[in-house]
Structure 1
Amino acid sequence: MAALYEGYTLCGFAPLQNTSNIAIQGVELYGDVDHVLVTDSLRSATVYKVSDQKPLGSWTVKQGQTITGPVVFNTQNQEYVVVTDDKVVRTWKGDDVNIDKAFKATVSADVFRLLSTPGFEPVVVFRHGAVRFLNSLLAAPQQPIEKVLSEEEVIRWTNIINADQQLVVLFTTEQRGEHCLYVQKFNPNTLVKHVFENEPEFSTPLSFSATCRGSNIHLISLYSNGSVYESVLPLRTSSTGAEGAQKLPRSVCLSLPVGEGQVTSAAAVVLDEAHVAVVGFPHPSAGANKDYLCIWNIHFQTLQASKEMPGGLFTQLWCYGGKLYVPHGKTLSVIPFECRKSSLAAAMGRLKQSRQSESQSCALVSSWTTQPHGDITKTQETRISTKQVNAPNVKGTSSALTVDQLTERIKTGTLEAVQVVVGEFICRASQTDLQLAAGRIALELVSRSQTDGNFYPNSAFLQLLKTQYLCHSVCPGMLLLALEKKDFDLCQIAFQLFPDIPEAITCAYLKAILSTPDSEIDSVNLDVDSVMFMKVLTQTGCPSEEKGYQQNGFYPSTPEDSGSQTPSKPQRDPLHLDMKCPVGLHKSTLLNDVVQTPYSDILLLPHLKDLTVPHVILFLQYLQFLYLRYSHEAGIQIQALRSPSMAQIVEWVCLLLDAHFTVLVMAPEAKSLVSDLHNFVRSQVKLYAELDKIEGSLQMLKKDKQSEDSGVYSIKVIELF
């Protein structure tokens, strides 16, 4: 999961008048991640301390001169380096006030870009593809510079990578619609040319981003048709470049929504191996004329986080130290972000179950469409198929509809007709088309349902969920609509399948469940497996009591019973309570889904405070019931595909107590509940203390074990207690 946090303005700028997609020339690191060098579009460069939003120094070239590339910082000699008027290289120290009086050298060819990375000497990339280290160039500024590229070949993008303490320079070129990638290495000095495959429908690459992971360079390329490709280039290769251009291997890792207009400029930057930040492409759920910064998961192809950027976005984006630098309007904003390593298995249940049936390791999945829990998917498909409307076939709907035609029918068709055409479109569309269209169809259905109170296509929503191509970020209004309609069946499926449900929606769903009477929820058609799990768990009579088990700190029998020949009936454990579920069967099933929903503690706590005291007490009583029942039946395996774990139950108890502790202490009706939880926790602490003693004794036993070659026979008596 990924999150975008509240941003702040680092500085303002005046964008160039003759371009619409370039705000500033560059944002470069200055020593560490908390200091950056910002080069404006014409004549000045400024050092900022990011955490304080303070300028530490600024330099401007005189009138008539132009900075033709971002200023970089040479960490080896603590100097700034800039190129002015394409050929003049200038260097200066931080205490130099006038940049024009600093050292300067005129080179013999036009410079395209200065590249720098901390710990290494800066590199100069010339406009015709030649590459030089800065010191060797300044030692002989008028040295001849070879032409690597042809006359019509133009560099579009360049970057430098520290790959296992070896510098690698990458740059892409364009010539008559053909795009190439050049890889320049220095030890040994080799230059390898790769040719991009031609994209159909006149699509062109708009942005590139490269990172080094392990022994490979991963290049991400963003195209105007929304396709995001990944190319993996090995660092160690025997190629010298003499055999000519090579085909660049690539694979599609993400398909972005294009919207109605043609995308002509956009930017993407890799955040980690699973996430990429994008500007320039429309938000799949936002209206027209709105610009968003989005973080997408390229493994599951889902939108993880988004933030509206007012004033209009430029197609520029930088990432340093967990912060995104985004120019928009007339300001450069810093947006902190967080990317958590996740898998679909973790997103579906958040915590791994401790039962043997679910302890098997789940294989990594490569996309959102691949599910490790095949049984869960099959169960959901069975449920959804039984809910589909068997409406008669409508004449004319059997022909293949485009997405645009389908959305028009959704706007004007009757409820029954809309559900039929949506079902037929899902059955006939290819997996690729359906993956792109599912979100748009869901948005159109939600939009009409919000304006027409008599229109609520439950069956169509369920069929779209069956495709596995929906998530909350693609259609955020669907869950809110389902909560408004109290469609707990749809909500349960969504909470079991969606990995990106916001904490506010989770708390709203929890509040709806707790405030709805049991009699109303009992009529809802829920997941049979989850209901059967709760039915078994709430059966009267505890097997552990009948067999006289002593588990998890519970002692159901009295000492006097051990002396009698006929065992007497075990006395009631004071911690046992009545073991009766405080809510109905179906309500408890829905609460289990809430307990298993992924969340962030920091984001969830403020929304939990909105729950009323009766709702908090009721939910705590149910969690206590689960806790006690799990403890008493530790030796019994209750088979279920989805059931809350002990750790998840404890986490929710802690969250509720943290959010409402002051109120619960003051509420008389909560006194006994808090006291019971305290007594139970105290008994568990005593149990685990005894288990620690046993563990220590077993470790000592292992250390005292005699070696096999010893011929001495001995008996040791170890007293555990």
Structure 2
Amino acid sequence: MAALEEGFTLTAVPLGSGPDGPLGVEQSDKTDQFLVTDSGRTVILYKVSDQKPLGSWSVKQGQIITCPAVCNFQTGEYIVVHDNKVLRIWNNEDVNLDKVFKATLSAEVYRIHSIQGTEPLVLFKEGAIRGLEALLAEPQQKIETVISDEEVIKWTKFFMVFRHPVLIFITEKHGNYFAYVQKFNSRILSKYTLLLGQEEKSVTQSFSTSVHRKFISLMSLSSDGCVYETLIPVHPSDPEKNQRVVPSLLLKSVVSGNARSGVALTILDQDHVAVLGPPLSASKECLSIWNTKFQTLQTSKELPQGTSGQLWYHGENLFMLHGKFLTVIPYKCEVSSLAGALGKLKHGQDPDIHAMTHFVNWETSQGYGLGSQNSEQSKRILRRRKIEVSVQPEVPPSTQLLAAIQKDSEKHIEVELRKFLAVKRTPDFHTIIGDVVIGILGRYKAEPSFYPRNCLMQLIQTRVLSYSLCPGLMESALEKTDVQILQICLQQFPDIPESVTCACLKIFLSIGDDSLQETDINMESVSDYTATIQDGEIEQQTEILQNGFNPEEDNCENCAQELIEKPQAATEESTSCPVTGKRAALLNAILHSAYSETFLLPHLKDIPAQHITIMDWICLLLDANFTVVVMIPEAKRLLLSLYKFVKSQISICSELNKIEVSFRELQKLNQEKTNRELYSIEVLELF
């Protein structure tokens, strides 16, 4: 259960003189004090419990603050950036910002981050990151460019993972989003491409993140009004590779899809998120808290004066701009349970008796009566309980995933799979992935309606599977006519039987163009499809002359004359491709797959006659379907072209053989010992 308490205005001074409201609200080195940076020229230090400012600092006229002020927790000083490149550092005793420490940097700053336990970090607009100490030692040092041209940073967060600082920032370029994760214990910068869902094609309006044990949970609020979650591994398997991560739908329709501004999202704990924006049933903006575990709305509060679409979360307080004034709304979130999510949680009758929490910190347990005895006996009990808890075996993620496959919904399985894939890979990773696929296929055989396609796609994209590791995968895809999965399997599996390859070929040739149009197919193999066709036409016109072959010498005058009599039909056939681009991509996957001609030949006999004139396996197809090719009218032009081509190649080979013999004779002469004192002339007849 969650509740929003009565809010209060932190300051009577209007904020947000800029177009986007305040730049930020950041924690200071005191628990109850916060730095509020206006989008104009001012930084104000507030004490929330007293609801009053403790200090205010402004840059001079003509300057503008471009980065939220933060506190250096190691020194207690404050840091701010104005005019993109000018860094200022001051403390509570300073009055005039123009007289405090100043450093002019060589590149524009996007954001300064500071948290407890580490030095502040400076993130530049081009994606480079520097520690504050190293930057102050050499302010004019060269700053490298990390992100590409036209790529813009949209959001960033700094946090600690296993006592090591980690910075994540999101960029956008032409509607595509990318996540960069910088780990400072290993100096590794990992890049991820965020593959947004079909519903999220327009705009992602807000991000928030939290850290779990083995992965980073990145949540995004889309302009369709839904919340999506993307899991990013803390320890990536290939840190230097641009990896792709797929989000899953977490909450549906939390705000109105028509809201183009004034929306924000922040994670409160592992089961609750706060959302700012108008709900579906109202036009006015609201602040609401949702339970992500049970997907229920816990509480909401209407904001009639509107907001700037900014939401900050510190401790148990939510900060936002309500109208033109900074407002603080305290909140409470209890441990997530089904009863609490449904509002049915029963509390004890005695308000002075606190219920025992589900998660007890055995080191600081005085608040629950366990440490109040303050005796050696109670300490021994605590130590014994701690040991008993610690020795309980942890269920491996793979076991949890396999158990979920047997009984849970497709959506829940997809979430569990993404959690498993976010864990660092073990030596038996490929066998576990094979077991997971076999488990999914086993349930699919028992329940034909169960076909978790997204899960299968993620499993195949791990690139550790083979046909022998999951033999039923391609058969199931053939039953479902899932050409996308078949294409990926053909591109990755090295041990596909020739019979399965031919079965894929039949599907690719027989599926309708309408179905292909709606299917997502990798088109890399036909990226220059149109240019290749045009180049092929030019080569076809000049190839005969380049090979020294004159079509007038062709012995098949009747066939040629028959084709000349129909110039229009010949032109139409030569300038059009017999297959669409997507079908060509599928056929290329067949042609690039591993196969043996000996085992492939018998299966090619089952190819229908109307499909055998468009393949590159011409020799094998002629062997398997010789009578059919000779008899069908559609193959006459193909046979004539093959005849001309073969004859020209024979002529070329003949000339090459003559040249080869000549070179051999010259090589023998060079190897013979000759008397250099004698002068002689030798005549060689090559022809």
TM-score (norm 1): 0.47
TM-score (norm 2): 0.49
